[in-house]
Structure 1
Amino acid sequence: MKRRKIVLVAGVFPPGIGGMQNYYYNLSKHTKHDMTIVAPEYPGSDAFDEQERLRIVRGAFMRGERADISSWGRLFRQVRRTLRGEEPDVTLYGYVLIGFIGLLFRVFGGRRYVISTHGMDMLMFRRFIGLNAVVKLILRKADGVLTNSKFTKRLVEDYGVDPRRIGIVNPGVERVYDRKPADEELLEQLGLEGKYVLLSVGRLVTRKGHDRVIEAMPAILKQIPHAVYVIVGDGPARERLEQLARATGVADAVIFVGSVSGSERLNDYYSLSQQFIMVCRELEQGDAEGFGIVYLEAASAGVPVIAGRSGGASEAVLDGVTGLLVDPESANQIADSVVRLARDEVLRERLVRDGYHRAKTEFQHDVLADRFDQYIGRICALPSVRVARRLARESARQNAR
């Protein structure tokens, strides 16, 4: 494989916390290509960069982890300086609208660019005619589009992108997630001794489905009286979820832990649970789970998994093979699946075994980075979009003669 030079213009990056941050960090860390990262500044980013062997250029391009339009001029100038200094084979843009800069450098400099997409970004602009047209232009002019799942790939194809230019590289699982005994101190701290623990890990937003699990808790408690629902994460829906738990009469059986930092500590929470559950659903306003790496983290920790049948979750969880998929809108189906897993030891052990094997073989970062490397190599070997269209026009003219 020919070693290529890549500039990654990352909308988010560590030490910021989140799935996309981990995605870009691990691609950068494990790729065999030569990569330079243009990343936003964070508190503690200097210390982070010093301990990493990555080539990172920082700038004040984001505000609250959202694209800061007022600073796009600074981002444009930084990207221009980086491209002139590095002369990469391709530039990878980690946010579709930031890809507009790639489009400009394509038009005025002929530079190759690839857009990285994650699912929700392919849905959220469809209600806005102007923005949707810009997204369509950015995607169709790109040399490639990197997606995190088949679900996201289908959304990209809806924009008319040539399927041959679309690649899939799923998020990966940190090796630290693995089977281990429950942390007795943590069990005592949370008052979980002798409890049957259901666990969710994720930002507290509507699409994650915490509310549906809370609504299912009365039925679950009738069958499993010592069940407790532990929610790790924080977000704008927390107050609403706490009110729902009180209104449903299950406040004593729902524990809000808040945010947990660090993979090792998060693994402790997976290890104290009997089931992992996150019943994501797709919302009308274009909000969906593009993949769901937490399902594979739980599987890697040896925990049986229940997911909502929506978005890319059906790729992260294979129904009846590595976990169970349920209708995310049905409290009855959620409760029935929880009870089924609790009572069917043979099913539970099979799902744990096969889920663990899949997480540890197909979703390790070195395996996924190899797919990324091959995809970048393939994109760089293809004629550019501009050349491909010129050749197609010439071929059409010759055929018409």
Structure 2
Amino acid sequence: MTKRRKIVLVTGVFPPGVGGMQNYYYNLSVHSKHDMTVIAPEYPGSGEFDRRLPFRITRGAFMREERADPSSWGRLLGQVRRTMRGEEPDVTIYGYVLIGFIGLLFRLFGGRRYVISTHGMDMLMFRRYIGLNAVVKLILRKADGVLTNSQFTKKLVEDYGVDSRRIGIVNPGVERIYDRRPANKDLIRQHGLEGKYMILSVGRLVTRKGHDRVIQAMPAILKQIPHAVYVIVGDGPDRERLELLARKTGVMDVVLFVGSVSGSEQVNDYYNLADQFIMVSRELESGDAEGFGIVYLEAASAGLPVIAGRSGGASEAVQDGVTGLLVDPESLEEIAGSVVRLASDAALRNRLVRDGYKRAKTEFQHEVLAAGFDQYIGRICALPATRTARRRLARESARENVRS
């Protein structure tokens, strides 16, 4: 059994905020067997949410609309210092690479161990900026460990010159709420989906997710599946552009923008209405990329065949021809062809559903993933302490002897 360690997690996103990274850090904190303390941003309703948590949490105003706010990092540094003095953690994990600069400072001037947690896009977005990229490289190379969400993200970290032996992979997990359920007849009536072949996307409306490519492929899909409808669950800055694109493409009457829905249970209702799931994510020149894509496994967990873009970490979330289909996210022909193939080939569809469901329900449950996280943290904490850390521990031991 892995020795129980004391961990402080400093994260820029956390529930009651909504999103994949929020769930990722929440579930690691809940299911880890280590002693967890979390430092997270404030959200509306966070006080009530925190009272139900089985671990310690403190909140601070160091993010603005879930983006790093460097003007408040002085307060965050003080908050981390106070927490370290109170908890004396074995390691501190920083859930945003630039916030990890605080970990670098505590490493240099106190010998404190720190780990950076990365999700893919944060390893790409600073490469265009020479100064920031140099800071990111220093933070990563000086870290005791780097926690990644996929092999794709691990490779990006290795590109910064980080020793692969210090890099761990802990994939996101699937919430148990996502499962097979009878179709919600009220939703069918509400959206006029009776007799329709429903293609579903769930996710934030941003360019990398590929909603635009599916919309552009709809005319070709409709030629083969005249009763097809494309339902988009989620909202975001791309919505106006996507609605305009649907009108220009002439498919506005078969593209349904549901918007954001409240909670995982309602998302699961939409999964259980659909005939297939699609999200053809692509990597953008700006460095925006899908680090993993847990939504594919959520859909599989609800019994859907899935189509993903062959980009970023999606090829790890979806095993091509085994648990889903991968397509060139820029090829409208491949996108339309894969949708039609799933609709027409029952044997293929049933096999993908069976194997995708099994994988989601075994390999990607939070308890399994947290066990891997615990082992990785145990390995990092077992590394020899730095000379500075040894001196600090010796001073603390001497003070305890004087008190006694």
TM-score for the superposition, normalised by structure 2: 0.95
Q: What do you get for the CA RMSD once the two structures are aligned?
A: 0.9
Which residue of structure 2 lines up, in the alignment, with residue 230 of structure 1?
A: 231
Which residue of structure 2 lines up, in the alignment, with residue 81 of structure 1?
A: 82
1:143 touches 1:385 (CA, 8 Å); kept in 2? Answer: no
- 2:25 aligned with 1:24, yes or no? yes
Which residue of structure 2 lines up, in the alignment, with residue 139 of structure 1?
A: 140
**Distance between the aligned counterparts of 1:105 and 1:205, measured in 2?**
36
| TM superposition shift of 1:64 | 0.6
| Cα distance per residue 1:153-191 (max 9 Å; x no partner) | 000000000100000000000011001111000111111
1:90-239 equivalence runs, <5 A: 90-239=91-240
| Cα distance per residue 1:270-300 (max 9 Å; x no partner) | 0000000000000111110000000000000
Residues 261 and 54 (structure 1), Cα distance of their counterparts in 2 relative to 1, 3 Å cut? farther
Which residue of structure 2 lines up, in the alignment, with residue 45 of structure 1?
A: 46
Which amino acid is the alignment partner of residue 243 of structure 1?
L
* SS of corresponding position for 1:51: coil
1:232 touches 1:257 (CA, 8 Å); kept in 2? Answer: yes
Residues 386 and 267 (structure 1), Cα distance of their counterparts in 2 relative to 1, 3 Å cut? farther
Which amino acid is the alignment partner of residue 324 of structure 2?
G
Which residue of structure 1 lines up, in the alignment, with residue 396 of structure 2?
A: none
Structure 2: tracts of 5 or more residues without a match: 389-404
Which amino acid is the alignment partner of residue 326 of structure 1?
V
| TM superposition shift of 1:53 | 1.9
Which residue of structure 2 lines up, in the alignment, with residue 336 of structure 1?
A: 337
Which amino acid is the alignment partner of residue 189 of structure 1?
Q
Which residue of structure 2 lines up, in the alignment, with residue 275 of structure 1?
A: 276
| Cα distance per residue 1:31-67 (max 9 Å; x no partner) | 0000000010000000100122221111111111111
Which residue of structure 2 lines up, in the alignment, with residue 326 of structure 1?
A: 327
**Distance between the aligned counterparts of 1:352 and 1:383, measured in 2?**
46
Name the stretch that deviates more: 105-114 or 60-69: 60-69
| Cα distance per residue 1:86-140 (max 9 Å; x no partner) | 0000000000000000000000000000000000000000000000000000000
**Distance between the aligned counterparts of 2:28 and 2:62, measured in 1?**
21
* SS of corresponding position for 1:306: strand
Which residue of structure 1 lines up, in the alignment, with residue 11 of structure 2?
A: 10
1:275-314 equivalence runs, <5 A: 275-314=276-315
1:93 touches 1:115 (CA, 8 Å); kept in 2? Answer: yes
* SS of corresponding position for 1:284: coil
**Distance between the aligned counterparts of 1:386 and 1:121, measured in 2?**
31
Which residue of structure 2 lines up, in the alignment, with residue 395 of structure 1?
A: none
Which amino acid is the alignment partner of residue 79 of structure 1?
V
**Distance between the aligned counterparts of 2:189 and 2:362, measured in 1?**
34
| TM superposition shift of 1:374 | 0.2
**Distance between the aligned counterparts of 1:360 and 1:263, measured in 2?**
17
* SS of corresponding position for 1:135: helix
* SS of corresponding position for 2:51: helix
| TM superposition shift of 1:383 | 2.4
Structure 1: tracts of 5 or more residues without a match: 388-401
- 2:240 aligned with 1:248, yes or no? no
**Distance between the aligned counterparts of 2:244 and 2:183, measured in 1?**
30
* SS of corresponding position for 2:9: strand
| TM superposition shift of 1:386 | 7.0
**Distance between the aligned counterparts of 1:185 and 1:259, measured in 2?**
18
Which amino acid is the alignment partner of residue 288 of structure 1?
A
Which amino acid is the alignment partner of residue 277 of structure 1?
I
| TM superposition shift of 1:382 | 1.5
2:111 touches 2:386 (CA, 8 Å); kept in 1? Answer: no
- 2:318 aligned with 1:317, yes or no? yes
| Cα distance per residue 1:343-364 (max 9 Å; x no partner) | 0000000000000000000000
Residues 104 and 218 (structure 1), Cα distance of their counterparts in 2 relative to 1, 3 Å cut? same
* SS of corresponding position for 2:229: strand
Name the stretch that deviates more: 53-62 or 27-36: 53-62
* SS of corresponding position for 1:222: helix
* SS of corresponding position for 1:352: helix
1:143 touches 1:384 (CA, 8 Å); kept in 2? Answer: no
Which amino acid is the alignment partner of residue 82 of structure 2?
R
Which residue of structure 2 lines up, in the alignment, with residue 397 of structure 1?
A: none
Which amino acid is the alignment partner of residue 251 of structure 1?
M
| Cα distance per residue 1:235-291 (max 9 Å; x no partner) | 111000000000000000000011112111110010000000000000111110000
| Cα distance per residue 1:317-365 (max 9 Å; x no partner) | 0000000000000011100000000000000000000000000000000
* SS of corresponding position for 1:6: strand
- 2:58 aligned with 1:61, yes or no? no
Which amino acid is the alignment partner of residue 239 of structure 2?
R
Which amino acid is the alignment partner of residue 204 of structure 2?
R
**Distance between the aligned counterparts of 1:261 and 1:98, measured in 2?**
30
1:142 touches 1:385 (CA, 8 Å); kept in 2? Answer: no
| TM superposition shift of 1:216 | 0.2
1:141 touches 1:385 (CA, 8 Å); kept in 2? Answer: no
| TM superposition shift of 1:384 | 4.7
1:200 touches 1:232 (CA, 8 Å); kept in 2? Answer: yes
TM-score for the superposition, normalised by structure 1: 0.96
